[in-house]
């Protein structure tokens, strides 16, 4: 008999899907360009807001700076417009000693509009990479 986690998890490559952080967002006029569609850089900003919401209750300890973006890539699949209600679904795809890889899907009505892949590095108080604290690592592991 499968455990509840095994029943809820789906095979994806060589890993099982965990929980998703879901962040609702409504597109404002300020998010659009002169053509009335969401400006490409806003997708990155919206995804950042979703990541901040995900970790808002987990402040870095001991004066650490927390996560800094090392690399980000975006696949734009469909255009969004003002007034549309979307969600950003975020999952951890890899947790290393000092780095975290996250996939974020910007969705509307069950369809994917953009996929962002983010690599973040944990930065200590001395502004150098450092091991991710265990309490933050264990939270992120739930989203693998």
Domain ranges of the chain: 19-141
Give me the pLDDT at residue 75, please.
Answer: 98
Give the mean pLDDT of 51-64: 87
Give me the pLDDT at residue 61, please.
Answer: 85
Band of pLDDT at residue 7, cut at 50, 70 and 90: very low
Give the mean pLDDT of 16-31: 90
For residues 40 and 32, the answer to whether their CB atoms sit within 8 Å is no
102-141 confidence digits (pLDDT tens): 999 999 999 999 999 999 999 999 999 999 999 889 888 8
Band of pLDDT at residue 10, cut at 50, 70 and 90: very low
For residues 88 and 22, the answer to whether their CB atoms sit within 8 Å is yes
Give me the pLDDT at residue 33, please.
Answer: 92
Q: What is the overall mean pLDDT for the chain? A: 88
DSSP structure class, residue 132:
P
Among 67-71, 85-89, 120-124, 134-138, the minimum mean pLDDT is found in: 134-138
The model's pTM is: 0.84
- Classify domain 19-141 at the CATH topology level: Thiol Ester Dehydrase; Chain A (3.10.129)
């Amino acid at each position: 008999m499968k455990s509840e986690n095994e029943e809820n998890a789906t095979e994806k490559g060589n890993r099982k899907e965990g929980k998703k952080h879901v962040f609702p967002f409504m597109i404002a006029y300020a998010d659009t360009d002169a053509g009335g569609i969401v400006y490409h850089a806003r997708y990155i900003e919206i995804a950042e807001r979703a990541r901040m919401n995900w970790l808002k209750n987990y402040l870095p300890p001991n004066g650490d700076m927390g996560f800094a973006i090392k690399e980000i890539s975006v696949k734009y699949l469909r255009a969004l417009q003002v007034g549309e209600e979307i969600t950003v679904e975020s999952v951890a795809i890899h947790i290393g000693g000092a780095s975290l890889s996250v996939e974020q899907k910007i969705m509307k009505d069950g369809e994917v509009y953009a996929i962002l892949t983010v690599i973040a590095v944990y930065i200590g108080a001395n502004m150098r990479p450092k091991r991710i604290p265990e309490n933050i690592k264990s939270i992120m592991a739930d989203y693998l």
